[in-house]
Structure 1
Amino acid sequence: MSLNSSYADIHALPDVIPLFPLTGAVLLPRGELPLNIFEPRYIEMVDHAMRGARLIGMIQPLPSGNGAAAPPLFQVGCAGRLTRFSETGDGRYLITLTGIARFRTVEELDAGTPYRQFRVSYDAFQADLLPGAGENAVDREAVVSMLRSFAECSKLEIDWASIDAAPTETLVNALAMMSPFGANEKQALVEAIDLKARAETLIALTRLDMAQRDGERQQWH
């Protein structure tokens, strides 16, 4: 998606943003994440974002803290710009966040809001602002081969024409965001240093997942 506001430098991004902790929901640069917002505190968070920089940080809670009112969080998330917004008529918002750049949390602020706000640093992720950065280093054939094997194993129907037409960055990041892995595995994809490392991590995790499924099937025969 093309943005009305572009960010040429990480210093153009606000260093204080609201965070939306959600297990299994990860965002990556230029990826699109649709969200159904219904909790009052997050309705207020969206209202706040719409009045300001329209940025919300997606981040995962640590698995050990699930269920806590303010669970500890992984340190790395991704800031997304609110690019689609609609009201449902029953008190919910349907929004889409488009990934801008990853961040590392610095400190949580006592902001007095029902949603959490953090000071963050984008310093380690300057390259996130460059569309297609690192694409040439990715073994695209290996990624597509992995996807074919996973689709066959999971009996999924894939629009291969769309896969072939997708830029490598779009393909890798979309697959990482949609992957069915647990919180720790998805966090490894978020924290991968570059696109090549993310693609390699995605392939390794998928192969492990398929091997585990195959082992479970053999146990039942």
Structure 2
Amino acid sequence: MPQFTFYAHPIATAPDRVQLAIDEAGFTDYERITVDIPNKEQKTPEYLARNPFGKVPTIVTSDGITMYESRGIARYLCTRYNFDLLPNPNDNAAVALFEQEYSCETACFDTPVSTVLFESAFKPLLGLETDPASLEKNRKALSEYLDVAESIFSKTGKKFWAGDKFTLVDINYIVPLARMFERGQGDVITSRPALKAWWDRCNERPAIKAFIAKVPNVDQLMAQFKQKAEEKQ
């Protein structure tokens, strides 16, 4: 029996945070199951028993622990299976910097980048009307945040978001930014020298390079998504 079962779907970005942590650690003793989102498997009683929010990702361990929410899952896996993606617990400064940057990504980066992707990429493919005001507001918020990040990287000379060690914080940024690059919006990083250097540095890591190379094409995913939904009708 594998150590855990990982429920995910390629159209969703959140599971990629977990998958990339697994890949970075080189961990293989798990099973990945693709949830049939086009046919709303995530809303079935069986799945809701695992994740009451009806979303992906979810994991169920071999000893019966069930978890949902990608950032929580990734941290749990790092702790349980010794993935080297967390700061040294005995280094108070490193832990504090990690928690600071982990919080900043969640509170200040995730919403604008997710909204920009949804408004500019997913809505048109779903046949929904883009909200220009929301798109502009979040593009501005994303740009302002990355300007501050660029300044911090430049002044401190740090190699990664939480210092000189690659951590889960970097993974949390890489996942949506990889989608931005796939959509032709990678200039949010390449136009900022220090952040571009960080991105290039991450791309030197085999697991990251492989992940970015296989980021799914959103147009193809949505076409498959719609086809499966229509076949069910």
TM over 0.5: no
Greater share of helix: 2
Q: TM-score, normalised by structure 2?
A: 0.28
Greater share of strand: 1
